[in-house]
C-alpha cells in the first residue's frame, strides 16, 4: 500500500539539523584499521543484517541491546524518531560495531546503545567514545545522559570515564541516568578518545562502498567470548 | 620410591564456557585423559582434583567426591587439592607421591576452574582472597596489583623495560593464536598496543606499570593427566613421559616481609629441587611452560629457575631467545597469557602441553623439534607457593 | 581513638626481626616471644601501583596502593592519597594516617593511608 504522505507528514517528527560527524580511523590492538563513520539512513538495512543474529545471544545482554538497537534503527529508517544518529565501525569494510544516540534537545544528548560485533579489541570503547565526541564536540551539546544495560557497559562508561550519577530518568526506561558533562569528557578525552583524521581516501572509499557483514554463525561465534568455545 | 610416568593427558579448550558447569569441565577433561591413557574400563585407584574456587564461586564443596561419582570411578579415593593458582601442579604432586610410594597404581589428576560465571569484579575479589586477610585484602589489593608493585621494583633493580614485557605479550599471543585450546586465539600488533597513540585505549594501564595485555585473561577450563608407575607405563603406553623431578617451596605470605621482594626465593628453590631430582641442569631443558599470569613473571621466572642470569631474562625475551626455535622456547602454548588462566586448571594444563611436546604430537608450527626434556613452574599466591616439574620423554 | 594508627607489629625478643603481620614463630630464629611495637614517625615509599580493575566493593576508577616503611622499620601496605601516581617516587616520604579504606557490610573498615609529603 503506498504511503499516505499527508498522514506521514503528521507522524514524522521534525529532524534537528545535525552537522556531520567527520570520519576517523583507529588502529586496533591487532593492528587492523577501523574506520569510524556516520551511517546514513540508507545504510540501515545493511546494518540490521548484522544486528539480527545478536538478538538471540543472551550472553552479556546482547539480546536486549541488539533488540532495542534494532528497533531504534528501524524507527530512524522509517522516520519515527527525531534527531537520531548512528556511527559505525568497519574493518576491511566489515561492520564490527554500532553505536546510536539522539539529541534530546539542543543542549542534552540521550545515549542509546553500543553494540560490538567483534570482541576483545575494545571496539565498544572506541565507538562509545566516538559517540560522545560527536555529542560534545560536533553537536556542541552540554551533556549526554547515559545508562548501562550490561555490567561491561557499566564498567566502561560509569567507572572508566567516570560518569556522574543523577536522578534524571533515561529514555530507555531503566535506572536513572548517569551524566557525561563537558568537563568530564575533556578530562577523559586524552585516555579514551582517539582516532586520526582525515581517513586515507582508499580506506574511506572501501568503508563507504559496502557495509560487509559476516554470516550469522560467525557473528555469534565472535560475540560468544573471545573465541566462543 | 617408584618412578612415575604420565600415560594419558586431556584438556578442553579454555575460554568462556557458559554452557558447561565446573563438573562438566572436570568430567570432559578426565575422560579425555583416561581415553588417551587407553585404560578402557580399568580401575583408577585415586583421583586428585586441583581447584581453588568451587566453594566460593560455585558454592559447591567436596567436588572430588562429586567427580568420581559422575565418572563412575567409585570407590576410588578422591581428594581436592587447593593451593591457590598452583592447585593444579599441587594436585599432580600429590598424585605423583601416591604412586611413587607404591600405594596406588593408577591415579587421575584433574585441574579445573570456572571463573566466568561471575562478573569481573567478583572474579578479581575471588582471586584476591589469597592475599593476607587483614594487612593486604582490606585495602583493595588485587593480584595484578601485587604484580604491578613487583614489576616496579623489578624494573628499577634489573632494568626490565616495557619493550621486554611487550616481547612476551607478542610472543605468547602469537603462539596462542596457533593453539586450539587457547582462550585468546588472537595475535596482537606492536603498533596497536604500543607504538600508536591509539594504544592508550587499546592497551591501557591495568596495574601500573602493567598494562591490559600484560595480564592473563580470566578463564574457564580443565585439564587432566593419568599417572602410573614407569614400569607399568612402558607396557600400557607407546609414549609415556617420566616425571623426572619435582619441587615445591613456599615464601612469606606478604610481599612486604621478604628481605628482597624482587627475589622469588620459592621459585628458585622449587626449580632447584626439580632439577636435582632429575639430575638435569636448566641448560638441559628443551621446552618450558612458565607461569606468565603477568608478563613480568615469565621474565622473572626464566631468571630465577636458571635459564638466564638475573637481569638477562627481559633482554633474552626481546632477542627472541625464548621463542620457538630459540635457546629455550618458553610458553609455546601461549602461556597463561593466551591459553588463559582457570586457576585450578593451569598447573595441569602446563604439564599437558609439555607432554604433547615430549611425545612430538604437536603441529610443526608449535612443536619444539626433538624435544626430550620439559619444565614447568606453577606459581601460587604472589610467589608464596611454587610447584615445579621436570619431565622427560621415555624413548620407546 | 579512631585516628591513631592501629597497627601492632611484633619484634622478636631474641634476634630483633620485625614481623607484620603476626607470626607464631620468628621467621629467622623460630623464637616464640615478641615485643609488640607500634609504627613510629613518617614512612618511606617502597613500591606502589595504580589498580584500575578493582574488586567488588570499590566503585572508583582506580586505587593507588603501596608498601611503605616506617621510621622504626615496620613495613606495611596502605592506600595512597594522591590524585594520580604522577608525583610518586620510590623512596619518597609519606605521612601515614588511619582512615576508612573500604566499606564492608555497610560499615567502614579502617586502615592505613599514606600521603606524599612535598
Tens digits of residue pLDDT in B307-336: 999 999 999 999 999 999 999 999 999 999
Which residues on B lie below 8 Å from C111 (Cβ)?
Answer: 138-139
d(CA B173, CA B295): 11
Closest CA to B234 of B395, B81, B23, B357: B395
Contact call for C50 and B132, based on CB within 8 A: no
B125 min Cα distance to partner chain C (Å): 5
B342 at the A interface (CB within 8 A)?
no
Note whether C59 contacts A: Cβ–Cβ < 8 A.
yes
Predicted confidence (pLDDT) per residue in C37-93, tens digit? 999 999 999 999 999 999 988 989 999 999 999 999 999 999 999 999 999 999 999
SS (H, E, C) chain C: CCCCCCCCEEEECCCCCEECCCCCCCCCCCCCCEEEECCCCCEEEEEEEEECCCCCCCCCCCEEEEEEEECCCCEEEEEECCCCCCCCCCCCEEEEEEEEEEEECCEEEEEEEEEECC
Could you list the pLDDT tens digit for every one of the 396 residues in chain B? 999 999 999 999 999 998 899 999 999 999 999 999 998 778 899 999 999 999 999 999 999 999 999 999 999 999 999 999 999 999 999 999 999 999 999 999 999 999 999 999 999 999 999 999 999 999 999 999 999 999 999 999 999 999 999 999 999 999 999 999 999 988 999 999 999 999 999 999 999 999 999 999 999 999 999 999 999 999 999 899 999 999 999 999 999 999 999 999 999 999 999 999 999 999 999 999 999 999 999 999 999 999 999 999 999 999 999 999 999 999 999 999 999 999 999 999 999 999 999 999 999 999 999 999 999 999 999 999 999 999 999 987
Contact C88, C105 (CB under 8 A): no
Please say whether the dihedral angle defined by the alpha carbons of residues A154, A34, B203 and B341, taken in this order, is positive or negative: positive
pLDDT at A229: 34
Q: How many CB atoms lie within 10 A of CB A86?
A: 24
Look at B257 and C27 and tell me if their CB atoms are within 8 Å: yes
Provide the shortest C-alpha distance from residue A155 to chain C (in Å).
Answer: 9
Contacts of B60 (CB under 8 A, 6+ apart): B22, B23, B54, B66
Residue with cell 616495557: B162
Residues 100-139 of B with CB under 8 A from C: 119-122, 124-125, 128, 132, 134-136, 138-139
A2-6, B234-238, B331-335, C101-105: least confidently modelled range: A2-6
Contact B135 C21 (CB under 8 A): yes
pLDDT digits (tens, 9 = 90+) for B257-291: 999 999 999 999 999 999 999 999 999 999 999 99
Q: Which long-range contacts (CB under 8 A, 24 or more apart) does B71-74 make?
A: B71/B27, B71/B30, B71/B31, B73/B43, B73/B44, B73/B47, B73/B108
Q: Cβ(B94)–Cβ(B86) under 8 Å?
A: no
| Of C75, C84, C72, C73, nearest in space to C116 by CA | C84
Closest chain B residue to C18, measured at CA: B257
pLDDT in tens, A32-78: 999 999 999 999 999 999 899 999 888 889 999 999 999 999 999 99
pLDDT digits (tens, 9 = 90+) for A104-138: 999 999 999 999 998 889 999 999 999 999 999 99
**Does A1 score more than 80 pLDDT?**
no
A192 and A163 Cβ atoms separated by less than 8 Å: no
Spatial contact of B344 and B355, defined as CB atoms under 8 Å apart: no
Contacts of B140 in chain C (CB under 8 A): 51, 54-55, 57-58, 63, 65, 79, 101-102
- CA-CA-CA-CA torsion sign (B72, B78, B83, B87): negative
Contact of C96 with C69, CB cutoff 8 Å: no
ipTM surpassing 0.90, yes or no?
A: yes
- Mutation to test the A interface, candidates B194, B201, B222, most A Cβ within 10 Å: B201
**Neighbours of A (≥3 Cβ pairs closer than 8 A)?**
B, C
pLDDT at B144: 98
pLDDT for res A225 = 52
Radius of gyration of chain C (CA): 16
Question: In this structure, what DSSP letter does residue A21 have?
Answer: P
Q: Which residue of C has its CA nearest to A188?
A: C61
- Name the DSSP class of A58: -
Nearest CA to A16 among A77, A105, A87? A105
A129 touches chain B (CB under 8 A): yes
Burial B58-96 (b: 16+ CB within 10 A, else e): beeeebbebbbeebebeebbbebbbbbbbbbbbbbbbbb
3-state secondary structure chain B: CCCEEEEEEEECCCECCCCCCHHHHHHHHHHHHHHHCCCCCCCCCEEEEECCCHHHHHCCCCHHHHHHHHCCCCCCEEEEECECECHHHHHHHHHHHHHHCCCCCCEEEEEEEECCCCCHHHHHHHHHCCCCCCCCHHHCCCHHHHHHHHHHHHHHHHCCCHHHHHHHHHHHHHHHCCCCCCCCCCCCCHHHHHHCCCHHHHCCEEECCEEHHHECCECEEEEEEEEEEHHHHHHHCCCCEEEEEEEEEECCCCHHHCCCCCCCHHHHHHHHHHHHHHCCCHHHCCEEECCCCEHHHHHHHHHHCCCCCCCCHHHHHHCCCCCCCCCCCECCCCHHHHHCECHHHHHHHHHHHHHHHHCCCCCCCCCCCCCCEEEEEEEECCCCEEEEEEEEECCC
pLDDT of residue A224: 67
Please give the Cα distance from C79 to C116 (Å, whole number).
11
Residue of B nearest to A123 (CA): B202
Q: Is the pTM of this model over 0.90?
A: yes
Mutate to test the interface with C, among B208, B215, B293 (most CBs of C within 10 A): B208
Tell me the chain C residues in contact with residue A125 when contact means C-beta distances shorter than 8 Å.
none
Residue A183: enclosing H or E segment and its boundaries? helix A182-192
> Which residues in A lie closer than 8 A to residue C59 (C-beta atoms)?
159
Phi and psi at residue B315, to the nearest 5°: -65, -40
Rounded CA separation A146/A110 (Å)? 7
Tell me how far the alpha carbon of residue A20 is from its chain's centroid: 15
Cα–Cα separations (whole angstroms), residue B154 to B209, B250, B265, C47, C110 = 11, 20, 14, 10, 30
Give pLDDT, residue A228.
Answer: 36
Cα gap B15→B218, rounded to integer Å? 8
Q: What order of strands is seen across the sheet that includes strand B107-114?
A: B77-81, B46-50, B107-114, B220-229, B4-11, B241-250, B385-393, B373-380, B287-289
Amino acid at each position: 500500500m503506498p504511503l499516505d504522505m499527508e498522514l506521514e507528514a503528521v507522524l514524522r517528527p521534525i529532524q534537528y539539523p545535525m552537522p556531520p560527524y567527520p570520519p576517523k580511523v583507529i588502529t586496533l590492538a591487532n593492528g587492523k584499521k577501523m574506520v569510524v563513520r556516520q551511517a546514513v539512513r540508507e545504510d540501515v538495512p545493511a546494518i540490521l543484517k548484522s544486528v539480527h543474529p545478536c538478538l538471540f545471544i543472551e550472553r552479556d545482554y546482547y539480546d536486549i541491546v541488539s533488540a532495542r538497537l534494532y528497533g531504534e534503527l528501524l524507527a530512524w529508517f522509517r522516520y519515527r524518531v527525531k534527531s537520531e544518529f548512528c556511527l559505525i565501525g568497519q574493518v576491511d569494510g566489515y561492520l564490527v560495531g554500532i553505536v546510536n544516540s539522539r539529541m534530546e534537545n539542543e543542549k542534552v544528548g540521550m545515549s542509546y546503545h553500543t553494540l560490538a560485533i567483534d570482541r576483545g579489541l575494545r571496539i565498544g570503547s572506541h565507538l562509545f567514545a566516538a559517540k560522545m565526541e560527536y555529542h560534545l564536540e560536533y553537536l556542541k551539546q552540554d551533556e549526554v545522559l547515559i545508562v548501562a544495560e550490561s555490567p561491561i557497559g557499566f564498567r566502561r562508561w560509569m567507572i572508566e570515564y567516570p560518569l556522574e550519577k543523577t536522578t534524571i530518568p533515561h529514555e530507555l526506561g531503566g535506572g536513572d541516568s548517569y551524566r557525561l558533562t563537558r568537563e568530564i569528557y575533556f578530562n577523559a578525552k586524552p585516555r579514551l578518545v582517539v582516532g586520526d583524521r582525515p581517513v586515507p581516501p582508499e580506506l574511506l572509499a572501501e568503508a563507504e562502498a559496502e557495509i560487509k557483514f559476516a554470516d550469522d554463525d560467525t557473528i555469534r561465534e565472535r560475540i560468544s567470548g573471545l573465541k566462543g568455545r | 620410591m617408584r618412578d612415575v610416568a604420565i600415560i594419558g593427558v586431556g584438556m578442553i579448550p579454555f575460554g568462556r564456557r557458559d554452557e558447561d558447569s565446573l563438573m562438566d569441565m572436570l568430567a570432559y577433561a578426565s575422560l579425555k585423559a583416561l581415553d588417551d591413557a587407553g585404560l578402557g574400563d580399568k580401575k583408577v585407584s585415586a583421583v586428585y582434583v586441583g581447584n581453588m574456587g568451587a566453594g566460593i564461586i560455585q558454592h559447591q564443596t567436596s567436588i572430588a567426591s562429586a567427580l568420581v561419582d559422575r565418572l563412575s570411578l567409585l570407590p576410588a579415593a578422591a581428594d581436592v587439592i587447593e593451593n591457590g593458582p598452583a592447585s593444579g601442579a599441587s594436585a599432580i604432586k600429590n598424585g605423583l607421591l601416591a604412586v611413587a610410594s607404591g600405594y596406588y597404581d593408577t591415579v587421575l589428576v584433574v585441574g579445573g576452574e570456572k571463573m566466568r560465571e561471575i562478573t569481573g569484579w567478583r572474579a578479581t575479589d575471588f582471586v584476591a582472597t589469597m592475599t593476607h586477610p587483614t594487612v593486604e585484602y582490606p585495602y583493595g589489593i588485587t593480584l595484578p596489583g601485587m604484580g604491578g608493585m613487583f614489576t616496579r621494583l623489578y624494573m628499577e633493580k634489573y632494568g626490565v623495560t616495557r619493550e621486554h614485557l611487550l616481547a612476551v605479550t607478542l610472543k605468547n599471543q602469537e603462539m596462542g593464536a596457533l593453539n586450539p585450546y587457547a582462550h585468546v586465539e588472537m595475535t596482537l600488533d606492536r603498533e596497536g598496543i604500543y607504538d600508536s597513540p591509539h594504544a592508550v585505549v587499546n592497551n591501557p594501564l591495568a596495574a601500573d606499570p602493567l598494562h591490559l595485555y600484560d595480564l592473563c585473561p580470566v578463564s574457564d577450563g580443565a585439564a587432566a593427566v593419568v599417572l602410573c608407575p614407569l614400569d607399568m607405563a612402558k607396557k600400557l603406553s607407546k609414549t609415556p613421559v617420566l616425571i623426572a623431578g619435582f619441587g615445591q617451596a613456599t615464601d612469606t605470605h606478604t610481599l612486604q616481609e621478604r628481605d628482597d621482594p624482587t627475589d622469588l626465593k620459592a621459585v628458585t628453590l622449587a626449580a632447584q629441587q626439580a632439577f636435582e631430582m632429575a639430575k638435569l641442569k636448566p641448560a638441559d631443558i628443551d621446552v618450558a611452560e612458565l607461569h606468565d599470569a603477568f608478563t613480568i613473571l615469565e621474565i622473572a621466572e626464566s631468571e630465577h629457575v636458571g635459564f638466564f642470569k638475573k637481569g638477562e631474562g627481559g633482554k633474552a625475551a626481546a632477542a627472541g631467545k625464548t621463542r620457538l626455535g630459540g635457546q629455550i622456547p618458553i610458553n609455546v602454548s601461549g602461556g597463561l597469557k593466551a591459553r588463559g588462566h582457570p586457576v585450578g586448571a593451569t598447573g595441569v594444563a602446563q604439564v599437558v602441553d609439555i607432554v604433547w611436546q615430549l611425545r612430538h604430537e604437536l603441529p610443526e608450527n608449535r612443536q619444539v623439534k626433538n624435544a626430550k626434556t620439559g619444565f614447568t613452574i606453577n606459581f601460587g599466591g604472589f610467589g608464596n607457593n611454587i610447584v615445579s616439574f621436570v619431565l622427560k620423554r621415555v624413548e620407546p | 581513638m579512631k585516628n591513631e594508627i592501629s597497627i601492632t607489629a611484633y619484634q622478636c625478643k631474641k634476634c630483633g626481626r620485625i614481623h607484620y603481620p603476626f607470626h607464631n614463630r620468628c621467621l629467622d630464629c623460630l623464637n616464640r616471644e615478641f615485643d609488640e611495637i607500634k609504627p613510629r614517625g613518617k614512612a618511606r615509599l617502597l613500591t606502589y601501583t595504580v589498580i584500575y580493575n578493582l574488586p567488588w566493593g570499590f566503585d572508583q576508577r582506580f586505587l593507588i596502593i603501596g608498601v611503605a616503611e616506617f621510621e622504626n622499620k615496620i613495613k606495611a601496605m596502605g592506600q595512597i592519597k594522591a590524585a594520580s601516581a604522577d608525583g610518586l617516587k620510590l623512596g619518597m616520604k609519606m605521612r601515614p594516617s588511619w582512615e576508612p579504606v573500604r566499606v564492608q557490610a555497610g560499615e567502614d573498615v579502617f586502615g592505613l593511608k599514606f600521603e606524599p609529603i612535598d
